[in-house]
Amino acid sequence: MEAGGLEWLLVPVQQLVSWGAAGAMVFGGVVPYIPQYRDIRRTQNAEGFSTYVCLVLLVANILRILFWFGRHFESPLLWQSIIMIITMLLMLKLCTEVRVSNELNIKRRSFAAADSKDEEIKPPPKRSYLDFDLNYFWHWSKFTDYVQCVLTFTGVTGYITYLWLDSSLFVETLGFLAVFTEAMLGVPQLYRNYQNRSTEGMSVKMVLMWTSGDTFKTVYFILNQAPFQFSICGLLQVFVDIAILLQVYLYSYYPQKPVPHTAHPASTKAL
């Protein structure tokens, strides 16, 4: 009777824990971007956030969804990708609006200060997705250009995936590219810290959030027997986070080298 009563209690508890872990997996990845979104909206300044973060995460999660069609994995991981794509599009929309607004404000201030028409400063040219100028790639003037680019990438990779869906080698490679792209997201920050011999301008709290989140994610992959690509790249992502934290510890014993830029991305990964 006692064993039966204990089992009756453990089953719902295990179910709640399972639901909680799945919910954390789905929404945990977007949590670090919420304060960043609110800060950009409050200050109307997006200089500290690199939109290339959005590019990398959009590519990684689109490829992960396509991988699902070739090899079904845990539903929470699929929903995580969908939620992350929506979050990155919202971040792009806000950053684009803020940047364009700031460019117009600068132009208006210059115009007001001008003494003659010859000194008027023309507004910066609007860059379009169809310009095909690599110098301005992913730095366009309208949010719709980013959407068109994402849809084009999704359509092309989706069509290729459809053609090669029966190839296990292609499917496994697609899954590896998806998670490896995301795992490498912190490497530019790691390299920037190494070049500057400094972690100035980087949020240590944010790195701690990544580390805890990536550790939880990797443990989730292993316990739920997700495809091996997920576990390997999850471990790699944790190692990158730990390496950045080690930089924080090591460089704290050296004088902070001044960084020539006025605005630093607090991180290439989440800021």
Q: Do the domain assignments include residue 31?
A: yes
pLDDT digits 0-9 by tens, 72-96 = 888 888 999 999 999 999 999 999 9
Cα gap 215→23, rounded to integer Å: 16
Q: Is residue 230 included in any domain, yes or no? A: yes
Q: 144, 195 in Cβ contact below 8 A?
A: no
Residue pair 158/63 in contact (Cβ under 8 Å)? The answer is no
For 98-133, the pLDDT digits (tens) are 988 887 665 433 333 444 444 444 555 566 656 666
In a domain, 25, yes or no: yes
Nearest CA to 191 out of 202, 180, 182 is that of: 202
Q: Tens digits of per-residue pLDDT, 217-260?
A: 888 888 877 788 888 888 988 998 899 889 888 887 765 555 45
Residue 125 lies in a domain: no
Helices (H) and strands (E) counted in the chain, each on its own, are 9, 0
* pLDDT average, residue stretch 40-47: 84
- Other CB atoms within 10 A of residue 84 CB: 23
Is 76 among the domain residues?
yes
Q: How many domains does the chain have?
A: 1
pLDDT of residue 146: 94
In a domain, 219, yes or no: yes
Q: How far apart are the first and last CA of the chain?
A: 55
Range of the domain at 143: 9-107+139-253
Asked if residue 97 belongs to a domain, the reply is yes
- Contact between 85 and 62 (Cβ < 8 Å): yes
| pTM attached to this predicted model | 0.75
Residue 261, domain member (yes or no):
no
Nearest-CA neighbor of 227 among 185, 191, 177? 177
